[in-house]
Structures are given as C-alpha cells and as structure tokens.
Structure 1
C-alpha cells in the first residue's frame, strides 16, 4: 500500500471510529450488572485470534461461551479467516472485528439460547488512542456488552511504563486489587488489575460497551482462575490448538 493510500485509509478509519465512538455506552445497562453477585448472568463469551506462524493474514478466529459462574464450556467456534484490512497501529479493530462479529452472528442465528450475555475481548476498549479499541468496536456493532482485557500495557494518552506505574503494580497485594489508568486529561480510561493472588503481572481492563468500569473490573476478576480471565484464556488455547492440529508445521 502506498503512503498516500494509507493516509487516506487512516482518515477514513478515524472518521468511522469517531462516529461509532458516539454510540459507546459506558454505563451498566443489563439487570444482571446491578448486583455484585451478577444474578441472572449465565453465559460469558470470549474471543481471540491466533495467526499461522509467519503469516499475518490467515488466522483462526475463536469464540467460546462459558457458563457463569462455573466457567464450563458451553460452545466453541473455531474458524479460519483471511484478514483483508492492513495492519495499522491504533486500527486493529478494522482487521479483527468482522470475523469475530460473524462468529457471534452465526451463533445468534443457529443457537440463540447460547449467545453470550457479555463478551470479554483480548484487547482494549476505551483505553485506546481515540478511546475506541477492539472491545468498543465489537460491542457497538454486535450490541452486546463487551469488556476489553489486554495482557500488555498500551502506552497511550500519557500512560507509560514509568517508575510510578511499576510502583503502582508492586503495590497490588492480592487478587482483585487495582489502580486507575489515568490519561493526561485526567480521565480514567481503564484499570490495571491483579487478577489472581498467584499472578503479580496485571491485566488491563477497560470498558467496551454497555458496562461500567467498576462492573467490568469485578466481572473480569470473577472470571479469573489464572492471570488471564477464563473466557479469553480458553479462546486463546483453543485457537492455538486448532492451528496445531490443522497446520502442524506452521502453527505458532
């Protein structure tokens, strides 16, 4: 892609993000969200993509649905996809959302009783350059509550891996402890969460759609048996296993 073509695409995507950003709801909207025990929450989804080694175009898009609170597998969908949009930093959602949305829509059409009531996304939500990451994009287009859970810190809007940040991580004493990710503007865009007593490296939680940050944080922690919440961990494991089985010489 030429530089001019990429610049035009970036302008187009920025405009689309700005428009879709207006539709994000960063408050609790569902009955099950109104109590810390989440009464009525029965199905939690997780999505992830795993790529064939050395190939940034062909990937396994994975959707899992787990029971809540037991976190047992109810449904899984592994599908090979070919990503057509180029990778441009800050616009990952334009590559990955279409195939993840297709998996959710297929489930809604074929087995609507298994459609997740909330989806945990391996990526960011409002904690993003323009406050519209993958979890927001998927949430707005699917209409489902979504939570962004990133394994690594996106250094954005003044949040960096500074000494202060490392000190805040060290201050997290037990699973469930957290601290805010505050932008230079003063706006809290997410929280760093120590997800289990045994894991000292946090995950980064942010609102995707139709959920408040406090509820997103509490839900994420309640879904953690290990560092990464179980819906995302299962999606990651199963997509990698699919590639190992079907592409044994090329799986990453």
Structure 2
C-alpha cells in the first residue's frame, strides 16, 4: 500500500473527511426512478457492476472494470477493462478517493462511446451509507456520477456498535431463504443497511446499503433479483473479468 508520513496522512484524512461531509449532504436516500416503483422493476433494462483487481504484489497497479448487464436476463452487454495507476494512498474509510476516479472515467468512456448502454443503476463492491461517516464508495460514485448506486459488501463493517457477535450470527442463522434480510441497526438506533441472504444455497449474507438515488428496501430487493450466486451478478462479472484481464496480460512468473 502507498506509504505516507504520519503528519501528511493526518492532513490528507482531514481534507478527505471534510469532502465526505460535504458530499454526504447530496446523497438521495429514496427511489427516484419510475422502474424502482414497479414491483417487477419494469423499465429497468441495464444494470452495471464495477470493481478493481490488483496484480499480486503490486498495490499501485490495478484493472478498473465496468460491466453492463441486461436486466432481467443478466447477460453482459458491455465491458471495459483498463489498467490504472493508483496514486492516492489506501486509508481505512477513504477507499473512494483511491478508486472512484477510475470508475468515473470508465462511465465517461461508456457515455462517449456507447451512450445507449449507460446503466440505470450501478452495483458497487463496497459500502454506501454503511460507513464510518455514512459515505462509502457507493455513495461517492453515486453522487459524482448522478446514477443510482447500491453498495454490496461481503463482510460487515464494524461501525457504530455493529459487530459480528453472537446476536448477529443468530440473526444470520434465522434467514431461511434467498431474499430474507434483517436491518443493520446502530447503537443509536439508525439503520445503515441490511444483511441479505442473497440466494437459497448461501448461508453467508451480503451487506446491502444505499449508495444514491434508491431506497434501502428497493436496493435489497434489486440485489436479490440480480443474484445467481451469493454475490450479485454485476459485481461478480466485474470481478471475474478484471481478474481474467490481469491473468491474460500479466501472467504470473513461473516459480
């Protein structure tokens, strides 16, 4: 990971925290699109997933990936794999400043080259409101792109009293089938997201939170509808294709 001196890191964190607070006020936490109001999401035709994959041993070079899938068929309509050089350091809670610029560039390329394939919603491998300052990467990408975004994380972020304790594990065990969920309620009583059993065969949930321009209930229902496996297909395809790009362009050295 990119190293910084302690004073420089502290100054950077203050600047980024201030920017997150400013942008946080722009997050829209309710449904804004006609398709979101329909129980079957009629009118939704294109869903996107984004991801960054890294070369083993190199945390500054990554493949920034965008995929657009048809809905409800979940077939890949478009993919964009781009090698990028990350210059911002990795600091916990500030991942968006490291990765979002490259995801925005991918969306811009799509808008310029094939505007008819622009997604109507973007799934982000990470958190939205479920974040230390309630402004994770899904919120960041949503506000700056203007697109509805959903954050889907594979692991629970321990924030505001949320923890993978015995109570949390018992709630997970009580999820009987794909589509079942329970709210992630902080110690202050605020709901920051939901734990979702995303498909029948997975006992491990995913953690869904609002990114932008979508309600939590709609985000959870849409996530479930996009799952053929535990991880929603847009994110899964972005991950598969970015890793495949790295394997084909940067094959591991023989040992």
Calculate the TM-score normalised by the size of structure 2.
Answer: 0.97
* Aligned pairs for 1:95-106 within 5 A: 95-106=98-109
Q: Could you say what the CA RMSD is over the residues aligned between the two structures, in angstroms? A: 0.6
Q: Which runs of 5+ in 1 are unaligned?
A: none
Q: How many Å separate the matches in 1 of 2:28 and 2:116? A: 24
- Runs of at least 4 residues off by over 4 Å: none
The alignment partner of 2:208 has SS state of strand
Deviation at 1:109, TM superposition (A): 1.3
Whether 2:170 is the aligned partner of 1:164: answer no
User: Among 123, 126, 133, which residue is 2:126 paired with?
Assistant: 123
Whether 2:179 is the aligned partner of 1:180: answer no
Deviation at 1:249, TM superposition (A): 1.1
Partner of 2:53: 50
> C-alpha deviations, 1:44-80, integer Å up to 9, x for none?
0000010000111100000000000000010000000
Whether 2:249 is the aligned partner of 1:246: answer yes
* Aligned pairs for 1:203-218 within 5 A: 203-218=206-221
Q: Which runs of 5+ in 2 are unaligned?
A: none
Deviation at 1:209, TM superposition (A): 0.1
The alignment partner of 1:47 has SS state of strand
Q: How many Å separate the matches in 2 of 1:114 and 1:147? A: 19
User: Among 11, 16, 26, which residue is 1:13 paired with?
Assistant: 16
Deviation at 1:36, TM superposition (A): 1.5
* Aligned pairs for 1:60-79 within 5 A: 60-79=63-82
